[in-house]
């Protein structure tokens, strides 16, 4: 059997020992023995026939007082195992699926492309033109509190230090003692928030990721990229070039979140600018300490004067003062003490920040001090090109219906008619007439409803910002061209002085199928073509399409939509950037980034890409500097490869087969979810969906409508709930019938050909197999036995049988005896975690039963939330 790397096992064991010592010291040896007993029973249960109820019996006999510390012990161990794994991946340059990164490194790719008749100039130009936006979102899938994350990061830092083989014995002991302290601190820290974070809290968490990790990782990555570029092409990465930028939805995503208001958005924008200024001030202080040289070129001398003995310091002191004034002005804005006029020294755009830095850089180069120029000074310039003055570009997201409400109320106030009853051509005619008009549309002294006023206030906040502070205005549930034109009109009416990108988000299967028609109708409008200036961004929704149609049908719908959108934009001479709204789980489009990018249709990744990084995946991919560097390398290399060596076009036979598979899967999925009367009661009984609302994960409500059923449930809690019980249903339901029917109908040779030669289908099957490896029908059956009325058990039998049959079908297609034979370390990672996750499953079922029979017990509710956090940490798939 393949084993996890010895150093990873050693670190897991060492951290586990420290946790055991902490538990023993706090709760006594007897309690630690209970934890060990539970772990051994869980291991025995895994190798047995699951008929022995020893683990279940032992845990069901725990008192309410014991439930919480037991849950906390297993939760903490799983978090410590994740720390050890992240450290291992960073140190040994492993990708998300444990492959050695050298197999897919940017340097390896440069060398490969050079052998494929791709010129060095083409490689250099593609990199310098590349635009990748990684968009951090506040979707509530990060279960750990920020204070714990900081302790976990500190543990990882100390594990790094221990790798130094030249440490003296007392140094090693000092570091190990520090790790013990941090483990103990984590144990004595409450894992669960007692209040939901506000949108501002979420935004601040995003700033922490930049401060603690990306601020260091970005210049290090660009230094590495520059070395590879220079070796391959003979040319360096320009100072102003940043192929990767970072954006955010935290404080801007108001879709279904009443807590994100115009005031919140304004505050988050100001806080981001303040944080950026603060980070640059730290850089400038370091540069003032280092750049003590007296020799400079004529350009710098002309700026600081002939008599200056330390020209670099003089120039940088001026920049430092401007950053300080900028911070003070922002603080006044945040405190509500706005001045009548903005001070002249306030930095307005990033070029004002970069100009003195560039002057210093060029002077050092000209004076033969290039080694000094390419040290801390170049790092700051790289940061400025990536983060700008605003740290993160803030996206705005709002539902299309809210914009229609504004237009409808305006029309009603002006006695223009019932906007909502108009046909689509009538709406477009009205909106375009107003867009071309010079007169204002919003009535003077008009008193709209509160919801409409909020949308207008948001547009006015947007209009007050600099263009570089903002990313895209995303319209969720976009159905028609008028949805896009309406936002352009509202921004115009609120005085927005620049053409902000307005991005339709196509989410349901029907909307994906109609997306090219909607974009085509926009492209035929001369005003619109002039407005977008040859650039169109379109967002593809993964979460809601999967919830609407099932994973297989949704994945194919997303692929087909992208193919058609590429054709439409190419026909109109417009460059298309696709914005992928991927989540952390397979059910929401998640999976290894490289595979996902290379699986996209030909020409859909043409040097540009936007993608969401959500919840806990932000920490797993960018929380530590070394891993952040690897993650950025994966993105840049994958976009470069997809641009210069796009995947093959889909064969007609593959397309025909995929249409057939998707249709089978769609019918099966929708029948099960929509037409089986017992499905919703079963879902609500077996999963912690109802209790999930008590877990204060994020600022956004779990449902779009408080009175809605499953159809109104957001994709995140829908998937979270099924993941908690290990049934993973949203990621595979429908695929089972589609694939088994294909095998029975003699389509196996074609399926295998698609899996071998078509990256889209290869990636789909890889992700399906990974989900099946983490799924466990026996765990789900235990929840059923404890929580589900007996009359609903037949439905559970059907679902578990479908899951088990799918596993057999996938192994038959793969011609393998076990799942993940080709990626054994993933299977091993799941296997070694199971003895720690299984007790949490049993505890959770017990706690759900107690909570539902006697609600209001604070100890039970707290322990229940800890089990949710622990299972999420163990599976690393929450939402």
Which residues are part of the catalytic machinery?
A: 139, 547
726: left (phi over 0), alpha (psi -120 to 50) or beta: left
Q: Is 223 left (phi over 0), alpha (psi -120 to 50) or beta?
A: alpha
SS3 713: strand
Name the DSSP class of 195.
Answer: S
Give the span between the Cα atoms of 775 and 605, in whole angstroms: 32
Residues 213, 624 contacting (CB under 8 angstroms): yes
Asked if residues 627 and 90 have their Cβ atoms less than 8 Å apart, the reply is yes
Residue of 31, 2, 40, 11 lying closest to 838 (CA atoms)? 40
Contact indicator for 792, 812 with CB cutoff of 8 Å:
no
Report the SS3 class of residue 52.
coil
Q: What does the alpha-carbon distance between residue 124 and residue 107 come to, in Å, rounded to a whole number?
A: 13
Q: Is 581 helix (H, G, I), strand (E, B) or coil?
A: strand
What is the rounded distance in angstroms from the CA atom of residue 392 to the CA atom of residue 397? 15
Q: Which residues are within 8 A (CB) of 452 and not within 5 positions of it... i.e. 6 or more apart?
A: 405, 406, 409
The pair phi, psi for residue 47, each rounded to 5°, is -95, -10
Whole-angstrom distance, CA of residue 407 vs CA of residue 418 = 10
Burial of 472 (0-12, 13-18, 19+ CB in 10 A): buried
747-750 own/partner pairs: CB under 8 Å, 24+ apart: 747/657, 748/812, 748/813, 750/653, 750/654, 750/657
Computed over its alpha carbons, how large is the radius of gyration of the chain? 28
Tokens describing residue 93:
């340059």
Q: Single out the residue of 218, 69, 202 nearest to residue 132, CA to CA.
A: 218
Phi and psi at residue 535, to the nearest 5°: -130, 125
Structure tokens at 450: 């509160």
**Is 739:660 a contact under the CB 8 Å cutoff?**
no
C-alpha to C-alpha distance for 102 and 14, rounded to whole angstroms: 29
Number of other residues whose CB lies within 10 A of the CB of residue 648: 10
User: Do the beta carbons of residue 175 and residue 161 sit within 8 Å?
Assistant: yes
Cα separations in angstroms, 760 against 552, 731, 765: 11, 16, 9
Rounded-to-5 percentages of helix, strand, coil across the chain = 65, 5, 25
Helices (H), 775-855: 777-787, 793-814, 824-853
CA dihedral 271, 277, 281, 287 (to 10 degrees): 140
User: What CA dihedral angle connects 676, 682, 687 and 691, to 10 degrees?
Assistant: 110
At 605, is the secondary structure helix, strand, or coil? Answer: coil
User: Which of 853, 869, 851, 849 is CA-nearest to residue 861?
Assistant: 851
Tokens of 429: 């005619």
């Amino acid at each position: 059997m393949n084993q996890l790397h010895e150093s990873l096992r050693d670190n897991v064991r060492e951290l586990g020992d420290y946790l055991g010592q902490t538990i023993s010291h706090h709760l006594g040896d007897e309690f630690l023995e209970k934890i060990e007993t539970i772990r051994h029973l869980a291991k025995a249960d895994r190798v047995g026939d699951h008929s022995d109820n020893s683990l279940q019996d032992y845990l069901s006999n725990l008192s309410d007082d014991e439930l919480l510390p037991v849950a906390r012990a297993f939760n903490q161990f799983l978090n410590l195992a994740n720390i050890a794994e992240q450290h291992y991946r960073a140190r040994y340059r492993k990708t998300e699926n444990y492959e050695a990164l050298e197999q897919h490194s940017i340097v390896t790719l440069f060398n490969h492309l050079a052998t494929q008749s791709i010129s060095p100039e083409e490689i250099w130009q593609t990199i310098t033109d590349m635009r990748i936006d990684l968009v951090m979102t506040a979707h509530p899938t990060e279960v750990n509190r920020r204070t714990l994350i900081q302790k976990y990061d500190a543990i990882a830092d100390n594990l790094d230090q221990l790798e130094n083989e030249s440490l003296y014995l007392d140094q090693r002991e000092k570091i190990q003692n520090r790790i013990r302290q941090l483990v103990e601190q984590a144990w004595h820290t409450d894992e669960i928030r007692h209040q939901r974070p506000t949108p501002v809290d979420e935004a601040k968490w995003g700033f922490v990721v930049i401060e603690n990790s990306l601020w260091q990782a970005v210049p290090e990555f660009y230094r590495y990229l520059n070395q590879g570029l220079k070796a391959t092409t003979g040319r360096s990465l320009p100072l102003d070039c940043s192929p990767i930028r970072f954006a955010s939805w935290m404080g801007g995503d108001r879709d279904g979140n009443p807590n994100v208001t115009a005031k919140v958005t304004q505050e988050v924008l100001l806080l981001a600018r303040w944080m950026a200024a603060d980070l640059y001030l730290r850089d400038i202080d370091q540069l003032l300490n280092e750049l003590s040289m007296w020799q400079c070129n004529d350009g710098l001398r002309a700026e600081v004067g002939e008599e200056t003995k330390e020209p670099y310091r003089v120039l940088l002191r001026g920049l430092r003062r401007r950053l300080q004034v900028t911070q003070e002005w922002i603080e006044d804005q945040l405190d509500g003490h706005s001045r009548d006029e903005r001070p002249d020294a306030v930095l307005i755009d990033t070029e004002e920040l970069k100009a003195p830095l560039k002057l210093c850089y060029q002077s050092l180069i000209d004076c033969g001090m290039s080694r000094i120029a390419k040290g801390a000074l170049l790092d700051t310039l790289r940061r400025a090109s990536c983060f700008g003055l605003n740290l993160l570009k803030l996206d705005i997201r709002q539902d299309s219906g809210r914009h229609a409400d504004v237009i409808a109320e305006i029309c009603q106030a002006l006695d223009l008619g019932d906007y909502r009853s108009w046909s689509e051509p009538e709406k477009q005619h009205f909106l375009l007439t107003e867009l071309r008009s010079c007169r204002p549309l919003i009535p003077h002294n008009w008193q709209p409803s509160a919801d409409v006023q909020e949308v207008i206030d948001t547009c006015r906040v947007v209009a007050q910002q600099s263009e570089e502070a903002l990313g895209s205005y995303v319209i969720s549930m976009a159905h028609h061209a008028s949805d896009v034109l309406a936002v352009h009109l509202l921004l115009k009416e609120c005085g927005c002085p620049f053409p902000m990108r307005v991005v339709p988000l196509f989410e349901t299967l029907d909307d994906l199928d109609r997306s090219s028609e909607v974009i085509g109708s926009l492209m035929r409008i001369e005003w619109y073509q002039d407005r977008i200036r040859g650039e169109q961004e379109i967002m593809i929704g993964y979460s809601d399409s999967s919830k609407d149609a099932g994973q297989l049908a949704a994945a194919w719908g997303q692929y087909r939509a992208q193919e058609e959108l590429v054709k439409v934009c190419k026909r109109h001479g417009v460059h298309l950037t696709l914005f992928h709204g991927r989540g952390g789980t397979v059910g929401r489009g998640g999976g290894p980034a490289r595979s996902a990018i290379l699986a996209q249709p030909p020409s859909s990744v043409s040097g540009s890409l936007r993608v969401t990084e959500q919840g806990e995946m932000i920490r797993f991919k960018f929380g530590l500097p070394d891993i952040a560097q690897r993650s950025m390398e994966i993105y840049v290399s994958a976009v470069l490869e997809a641009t210069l060596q796009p995947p093959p076009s889909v064969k007609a036979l593959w397309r025909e087969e995929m249409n057939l598979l998707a249709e089978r899967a769609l019918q099966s999925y929708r029948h099960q979810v929509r037409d089986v009367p017992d499905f919703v009661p079963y879902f609500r009984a077996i999963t912690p969906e109802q209790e999930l609302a008590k877990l204060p994960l994020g600022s956004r409500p779990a449902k779009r409508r408080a009175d809605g059923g499953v159809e109104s449930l957001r994709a995140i809690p829908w998937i979270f709930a099924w993941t908690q019980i290990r049934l993973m249903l949203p990621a595979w339901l429908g695929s089972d019938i589609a694939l088994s029917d294909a095998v029975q109908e003699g389509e196996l040779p074609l399926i295998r050909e698609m899996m071998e030669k078509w990256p889209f289908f290869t990636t789909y099957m890889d992700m399906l197999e990974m989900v099946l490896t983490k799924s466990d029908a026996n765990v789900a059956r235990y929840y059923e036995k404890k929580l589900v009325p007996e009359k609903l058990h037949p439905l559970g039998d059907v679902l578990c049988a479908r899951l088990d049959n799918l596993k057999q079908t996938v192994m038959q297609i793969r011609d393998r005896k076990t799942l993940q034979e080709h990626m054994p370390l993933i299977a091993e990672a799941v296997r070694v975690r199971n003895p720690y996750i299984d007790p949490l499953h049993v505890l959770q079922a017990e706690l759900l039963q107690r909570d539902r029979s006697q609600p209001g017990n604070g100890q039970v509710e707290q322990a229940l939330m800890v089990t949710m956090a622990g299972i999420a940490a163990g599976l690393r798939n929450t939402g």
